[in-house]
Amino acid sequence: MFASIVNTFLNCFKIPELKSRILFTLFVLGVCRLEAYIRVPGLNGDALKRFFEAQGSGNGGVLGVYSLFTGGALENCALGALGIMPYISATIVLQLLTAIVPSLSKQAREEGGRVKIIKWSRYLTVLLCLAYGFGMAIGWENPSSVPGFGGFQGSLVLYDNIWWYRIQTVIILTTGTMLLMWLGEQITERGIGNGVSLIITIGILARLPMAGQSLLDMFHPASGEAQFNYGHAILLCGLLALVVGGVIAVTQSQRKIPVQYAQRAVGRKMMQGGSSYLPLKLNFSGVMPIIFAQAILMIPQRFFQSIGVTYHIKLFTWIGNVLNEGETWYFVIYTLMILFFSYFWTATQFNELQIADDLKKNGGYIPGVRPGQATADFLHNSMSRITLAGAVFLTIIAVIPVVLAKKLHVPYGVATFFGGTSMLIMVGVLLDTMRQMQTHLLNRHYDGFFKAGRSGSGGPRNRGAF
């Protein structure tokens, strides 16, 4: 199997167009990684980096997720510290508004409407970068007040003129994010894969050396007796294989709703009927419910804990403590929020009424289901059932890193690669990139990565790598 995989990758470089796209993508991703190391002027990045190294391999919560997405740029006080997240946030906001606001929904369906929405998302990205950048500049002035930086001693700002530092930092961070956005669009247009998703993935993979060192320290610590033995190593390997296999299976799983098209007349031509299917993804919402749950759950925890400690209110302090990552109530609320946002995201993005209307207009129908409202109800019920299964699996994947880090004391940098957002993003992006490469390979009559890429009879490609 591995020889077939290697041979398939070698075939990718035998196609000139695909070869140029792969090399272009690798070059641009290398440029993106430079943003994680070029530091913002006027900041003592070495002090913050030493602090994070002393903390271990990272922190949990939203700060840990954000740091994971930036590929270490946040700890380095680099110009890519905001990462690509403002652009993703702007895109998500507009997607939600498009599903909720009728005028935007109509605009998206019109000719050239998607281009306008993309343009608006870029404008919104600039505004978010200015807001996030200013907040980050203020946070760097007093790092100990930022969640996840508790215990940091000293100052990061080296400038005496504080407003010059703030204005300069905001401009630099905004420019860094806009550059990442532009580079991601170039990868999508001229390279291979989705550019923005690949930028996030390469940032996550950049943490592998640190995670590898932490994993080595688990079994061979520099001082003292090792807490873990080789039995734990076997269990971790088995868990990793199980999680990766499960994520791949769920990411690719879909329910195929059969659709039959009746014979119809278009002008003077008679169009023959046919059969097709409507694919309903098991994990339709992707990684979004986990991100929403982590972001929202952190706000009340910080609020109650800060108010309770400041004004000595025991009830608020207790609420803040029980909402700490790893506590029982945290797991309960975290699970419920993932389930809720799974349905929320599906409800805003999956429009069964529009799908039923489009099927009716094109002469399509689901066998055994009447067109119109009955079809919409059938799609709604089907999507609700498979969303529950996908949400339960998503909850399990999201909880695994927290359990490993907080209950079993596995270093956080290692635990993040056993589930959560990082695993879902990496698997999804790599599968999407491999599908695009598969298309190029099959068009040139080469073996593909997947069994679905086999040709029938008469083609030189006779089997896939997987």
Longest dimension (CA), the chain: 85
Q: Is 455 or 372 the better-scoring residue by pLDDT? A: 372
| Encoded tokens for 261 | 């098209």
Residue identified by tokens 């129908």 is 365
CATH for 1-206+423-466? 1.10.3370.10
What mean pLDDT is predicted for residues 51-77? 67
- Which residues are bridge partners to 275 per DSSP? 260
Give residue-wise pLDDT tens across range 252-268: 888 999 998 876 655 66
Give residue-wise pLDDT tens across range 357-380: 988 888 888 998 898 899 999 999
Using 50, 70 and 90 to split pLDDT, how confident is the model at 117?
confident
- pTM recorded for the entire structure: 0.80
Contact predicate 118/108, CB 8 Å = no
Q: How far is CA 30 from CA 36, 72, 75, in A?
A: 10, 14, 19
Q: What is the phi-psi region of residue 221: left when phi exceeds 0, alpha when psi lies from -120 to 50, beta otherwise?
A: beta
Closest CA to 397 of 324, 338, 332: 338
Assess whether pLDDT exceeds 90 at residue 170. yes
Contact predicate 287/345, CB 8 Å = no
The pLDDT, as a whole number, for residue 465 is 38
Using 50, 70 and 90 to split pLDDT, how confident is the model at 457?
very low
